[in-house]
Amino acid sequence: MSRLIILACLAPLALAAAPYRASVDTRALVMVVRAADGEVVARYDGISIGRGGAAAVHYRRDGTTPLGDFRIVAVRRPHRYGAFYQFDYPTPAHAELALAAGKLPRRSRDAIVRAAAARRLAPQGTPLGGGIGIHGVGRGDPAIHAAFNWTTGCIALSDAQLQDFSRWARIGMQVEVR
């Protein structure tokens, strides 16, 4: 039996506003956490993103990190990467972009939109995939983390950064990825 502990019930999603928000700069590979008044409370340099870089929409197995505005909807500890702060990906905005590009069936877009309206986690098995969030290096190689973008679409912090981030991260926290 898995020792995975989910610290949030995913249905319905608890999306109350959190007192801190994070922003990720995928070009500079920096994540900043701000208090509600805008004060910077933490800065994490040298983060990693998906091995495919950043993209407007992440598709299953493309290795990209999706750009957009997200909320943390679940926290999983323990996790193979230390802890996992799951985003509400895919969002209706991503589904609309994928539908317009002809890469997502209308029924999948509709399911994602319905899930968001019901404050539930969107289907994770569509062509947009899922399981996107913030995690550490965990059992991975810190040297690879320092040298390469290596994730399958997530944002990775060093384990020390992830431990520090846990002071600020909460269910409902807004995370802007640009």
Distance between CA 11 and CA 121 in Å, rounded? 7
Residue type, 66: P
Chain segment 129-148, per-residue pLDDT in tens: 999 999 999 989 999 999 99
Residue 42: count other Cβ atoms within 10 Å of its Cβ.
Answer: 16
Query: What pLDDT score was predicted for residue 15?
Result: 54
Distance between CA 175 and CA 154 in Å, rounded? 12
pTM above 0.75, yes or no: yes
Per-residue pLDDT at 11 exceeds 50: no
- What is the residue-averaged pLDDT of the chain? 92
**Percent of all residues in the chain with a pLDDT value above 90, rounded to a whole number:** 85
Distance between CA 94 and CA 58 in Å, rounded? 8
Query: What pLDDT score was predicted for residue 156?
Result: 98
Per-residue pLDDT at 176 exceeds 90: yes
Per-residue pLDDT at 80 exceeds 90: no
Per-residue pLDDT at 3 exceeds 60: no
Per-residue pLDDT at 4 exceeds 70: no
CA 143 to chain CA centroid, nearest Å: 22
Per-residue pLDDT at 49 exceeds 80: yes
Query: What pLDDT score was predicted for residue 16?
Result: 63
